[in-house]
Chains A and B, each alone.
Chain A
Amino acid sequence: MRFFAPIVGFLSLASTLLPTVLADSKVSKFTSLTAGSKLKGIVRLTDALYTEFTSAPRNYSAVVLLTALDQRFSCALCQEFQPEYELLAKSWVAKHKSSDGLFFGELDFADAKATFQKLQLTTAPILYLFPPSTGDNVDVAHIETPYQFDFTQYGVPAEAVAHFISQHTSHTPPVVRPFDYVKFGTMAGGVLVAIAVLSIAFSIIKPIIYSRNLWAAISLIAVLLFTSGHMFNHIRHVPYVVNDGRGGVSYVAPGFSNQFGLETQIVAVLYALLAFATISLAMKAPRIEDPTGQKAAILIWNAVLLVGFSFLMSLFKQKNGGYPFFLPPLF
């Protein structure tokens, strides 16, 4: 065996040498294409270039975006992703002048219908990553079939794509977002203006800020929102109402640990009504000086309380079928 080793080594060297030469010529070609591209860091591909770019042998990693930017296709995701992709490519070539084995290509549907047909693609955008097919970092399983970035799972941010690339290749592309001077300027200006307005108009604003009514209202609204399950709506993104399939809408979600938007608003209003009735009974009614008026007020608020609470309990019974209690008049 030892005798054969040099021969085997030589043969394997020869078999790898040819593709390496071929691939090296491609690297220099795409490096110059990248440098000469109008979009910084991205090679604009055509049908022919795409084939050359992605076919084996490659001793580089190729990222290809297949997109449809033309307004006629109204591909919102393509439009949304384009600046992120440009940012990613720009950040890469800024650090790596000669591309260093990672190229970004872009293929627009308008330029290359044939490739889309050949690959039988009906949706855009699609982002492929072709890892090297020769060299040190060869990824045997993905010479012909590239990795595909999942837009539905990770969204469009350049950071997500950078993470995707670093997972499958030896490159860790940086994402350098340019400092947004306009945003910073508006923010700083806004803060200054706010401070100026506050200091000038403080005498007018002061009674509002120190108004007990305002704070009471804010507090009560906050408490009512939170205790009627608003945070659940916010976190779970529940629908406002749901079509019940018979032409109407159902506003009470079935099940104990589920709810709809409208349902929580009804509950919040109900809590507010009951609380207000209690407040009226405790604090307003005993201050009414007219005996008849007082009697009527107490009667009315008491009735409101009873009906409201009864309705609340029947609503709860809808949510929890086995609930045994009720109050008249609603069952």
Chain B
Amino acid sequence: MSSLEVLLKDESTRNIRRLLKVVILITIAGAAVSSRLFSVILDPWFNFRASKYLVKNGFYNFWDWFDDRTWHPLGRVTGGTLYPGLMVTSGAIYHILRMLSMPVDIRNICVLLAPAFSGLTALATYLFTKEMKDESAGLLAAAFIGIAPGYISRSVAGSYDNEAIAIFLLMFTFYLWIKALKDGSAFWGALCALFYFYMVAAWGGYVFITNMIPLHAFVLVLMGRYSPRLYVAYTSWFALGTLGSMQIPFVGFLPIRSSEHMAALGVFGLLQIVGFVEFVRDQVPSRQFKTLLKALIFIVFALSSAVLVLLTVSGVIAPWSGRFYSLWDTGYAKIHIPIIASVSEHQPTAWPAFFFDLEMLIWLFPAGIYMCFSTLQDQHVFVIIYGIMASYFAGVMVRLMLTLTPVVCVSAAIALSNILDVYLSIKTPAAPTAGAPSVNERKEKKPRVNILSAGKDSIVGVYSKASKIAVIAAFSIYLFVFVLHCTWVTSNAYSSPSVVLASRMPDGSQHIIDDYREAYYWLRKNTPDDAKIMSWWDYGYQIGGMADRTTLVDNNTWNNTHIATVGKAMSAREEVAYPILRQHDVDYVLVIFGGLLGYSGDDINKFLWMIRIAEGVWPDEVKERDFFTPHGEYRVDDGATDTMKNSLMYKMSYYNYQSLFPAGQAQDRVRNAKLPAVGPTLSILDEAFTSENWIVRIYKVKDLDNLGRDHLSAAAFDAGKKKSKRTKANKGSQRKLRVV
């Protein structure tokens, strides 16, 4: 026995191995945390505001919090419309640290929460994978999830969103479920329900767990793998978990009244019947009786499904909500809920995105799934189902790459650890002597029918040291490149928060474009505290957080009509928009314009969605067709339609823009269009602020005219009679516009 083998196998060195394991896990957690610290900017601001409120006013006030700084004039009943898990977590950490007399600012906790929880995710993944194969696979999986860009994308420092803690909860709940299933233990089932409750409190994606666990149980029953262990684990999880999830006000009675949750209920019922039948079968060993029982199961199952359908049709049970339904019927959202289809995260995923986020794991993933099939215990069925479902969802929506990443890491770790097990073994088998029956021949050899039977012969081992070294060397290089890839992706793509844009100068140096913060700071310093800002909902949280001003709509898109109102104001003519602005007390309007810099995420590019959402509510007044030329083109240059040119959004984006260029040379660098020689005029708005690179433009809504005229005629009057005054005013506004 070599000395290394003594170290690895001997009882006396068990402590050393345990220590090694702990050290490795801590190192992985450390790597996971540190790779998320490339740059730190807190976002989304709403969650931070909510956490501050929670820490300052206590938990009960937080439940009753009515936020009048958003959704003006409606306000938002915050306690009942959010998942409080994230804020409560950071609030709890804050109070614990204070109790240990370590006063830490709540802001720092919010910033570092996501990296800290990614360390915990690595631990949860280790535990989960350990249940699938062994500890070495677990360590590999932990290392993968620690640095996989697919997960880093949502958990860099400062990304203070629900997903930051949700992935840890997801993996840990799954681990507890597998543990409960393996041991048939109500204790682990109850723990699983507890963490399920935490997950429900933290993220809307809990529905994934709500359907994954029943699906696993259902498949096991279909495979004829029903066991008392399954019964105990599932029923304890379902009963406690459902009760728990109903404690969250935002969820309330959904678990018994919506279609998303019906699968769990149905499988619960099915397990009762199957359990009863299995019990009776043990007592009465008659063949006829068994057939009768089978028929009974079938009839009861069919009947309860029919009742379920009936309840859904009659409206007692809500049908699938649009957000989830659009995952199955992929064309649904585009037609019926443009607000969901408009979000870039909800677009389907092209293959480079998979490779970008997972690199070599993406091809180790199917290999791991295959290996799960070759062992196929109850817990492997779970990984297979999870893998298929998650890869479908990730294909439909970019955002759901997040739920795919953990299972890819687990599966890839299983595959890679199989490779390492074979090729890192020091033992070399003796070469078979000629004539002697080989290991496998000694067993009666059957003709191969099973393609999975590669795993059925017994392992001989690898004879040649050179082969071992070649394979291990190749995989070491792949792993090394994987680490490089992850670092590169993280530092390049996922560490530039949306608030600050980084660009490369021709000489290669980095140039920071900080227009957003410049504009928000301007709002904070130059507008009254109770000013109402209208912008598209994408910027609602940022304005609320950084500029501390009241917004009309924000990223919590709970009220479609209100968003459509903003869309209508943006897409309407000035005289139509003005009453809307007045009715909503709007003081300032903010638009994002990328034409000067070539920043493609600007409002003119998002404009079609605003029109579509508005058209959904006012089909008579806003028509998408009017914004397209007769040839079906979306244009902003001379060929743009009159509706387009007269829309408030177009005017606000291009107002005064022509003055930057020599006459007739104005150029939009995003849409590569030469703009009309004469720029748009604005009569209901005054330009208040334009940022350094023209990305953010803010307009002040004019007060009613002193003489009771409408603004158009007032402007015409000014233009006709008081030319000298107008040029003076123009000069004043131009001084504010800094030109790069």
- Give Cα distance in the complex from A211 to B363, angstroms: 25
How many chain A residues sit at the interface, stated as a range, is 35 or more
- List the A residue with the shortest CB-CB distance to B373: A216
- Are A167 and B415 closer than 8 Å at their CB atoms? no
Q: Give the interface segment out of A36-44, A119-127, A258-266.
A: A258-266
Determine how close the nearest CB of chain B comes to the CB of A85; give it in whole angstroms.
22
- Are B474 and A282 closer than 8 Å at their CB atoms? no
Report the count of interface residues on B (CB-CB < 8 A). Answer: 73
Given contacts A227-B354, A235-B348, A295-B466, contact A283 B374 (CB under 8 A): yes
- Give Cα distance in the complex from A278 to B452, angstroms: 14
Across-interface contacts of B415 in A (CB, < 8 A) = 278-279, 282
- List the B residue with the shortest CB-CB distance to A316: B355
- Give Cα distance in the complex from A235 to B346, angstroms: 12
Given contacts A234-B330, A275-B363, contact A295 B467 (CB under 8 A): yes
Whether, in the assembled complex, B396 has its beta carbon less than 8 Å from a beta carbon of chain A, the answer is: yes
Whether, in the assembled complex, A26 has its beta carbon less than 8 Å from a beta carbon of chain B, the answer is: no
Whether, in the assembled complex, A56 has its beta carbon less than 8 Å from a beta carbon of chain B, the answer is: no
- Give Cα distance in the complex from A283 to B395, angstroms: 30
Across-interface contacts of B484 in A (CB, < 8 A) = 325
Across-interface contacts of B376 in A (CB, < 8 A) = 212
- Are B351 and A228 closer than 8 Å at their CB atoms? yes
- Give Cα distance in the complex from A242 to B269, angstroms: 53
- Give Cα distance in the complex from A68 to B467, angstroms: 75
Residues 457-470 of B, flagged 1 when their CB comes within 8 A of A and 0 if not, give 11111111011001
Whether, in the assembled complex, B207 has its beta carbon less than 8 Å from a beta carbon of chain A, the answer is: no
| Most B C-beta atoms less than 10 A away, residue of A257, A283, A319 | A283
- Give Cα distance in the complex from A263 to B351, angstroms: 9
Across-interface contacts of B419 in A (CB, < 8 A) = 278, 281-282
Across-interface contacts of B27 in A (CB, < 8 A) = none
User: Considering the complex, which residues of chain B in the window 593-638 have a beta carbon less than 8 Å from any beta carbon of chain A?
Assistant: 619-620, 625
Across-interface contacts of A20 in B (CB, < 8 A) = none
- List the B residue with the shortest CB-CB distance to A322: B492
- Are B370 and A220 closer than 8 Å at their CB atoms? yes
Residues 470-485 of B, flagged 1 when their CB comes within 8 A of A and 0 if not, give 1100100110010011
User: Considering the complex, which residues of chain B in the window 324-355 have a beta carbon less than 8 Å from any beta carbon of chain A?
Assistant: 330-331, 347-355
Whether, in the assembled complex, B356 has its beta carbon less than 8 Å from a beta carbon of chain A, the answer is: yes
- Are B464 and A272 closer than 8 Å at their CB atoms? no
Whether, in the assembled complex, B388 has its beta carbon less than 8 Å from a beta carbon of chain A, the answer is: yes
User: Considering the complex, which residues of chain B in the window 422-450 have a beta carbon less than 8 Å from any beta carbon of chain A?
Assistant: 422-423, 431-432, 438-440, 450
- Give Cα distance in the complex from A274 to B363, angstroms: 6
- Give Cα distance in the complex from A291 to B492, angstroms: 47
Contact of A289 (CB < 8 Å), options: B351, B439, B625: B439
- List the B residue with the shortest CB-CB distance to A257: B350
Across-interface contacts of A22 in B (CB, < 8 A) = none
- Are B471 and A289 closer than 8 Å at their CB atoms? no
- Give Cα distance in the complex from A286 to B423, angstroms: 9
For the A-B complex with A223-B369, A271-B363 known, give 14 more contacts whose Cβ atoms are closer than 8 Å: A150-B625, A167-B619, A167-B620, A229-B348, A231-B396, A236-B348, A256-B353, A264-B351, A275-B363, A282-B418, A291-B431, A291-B464, A316-B355, A324-B488
Query: B residues touching A (Cβ–Cβ < 8 Å)?
Result: 223, 330-331, 347-356, 360, 362-367, 369-371, 373-374, 376, 384, 387-388, 391-392, 394-396, 415, 418-419, 421-423, 431-432, 438-440, 450-452, 454-455, 457-464, 466-467, 470-471, 474, 477-478, 481, 484-485, 488, 492, 619-620, 625
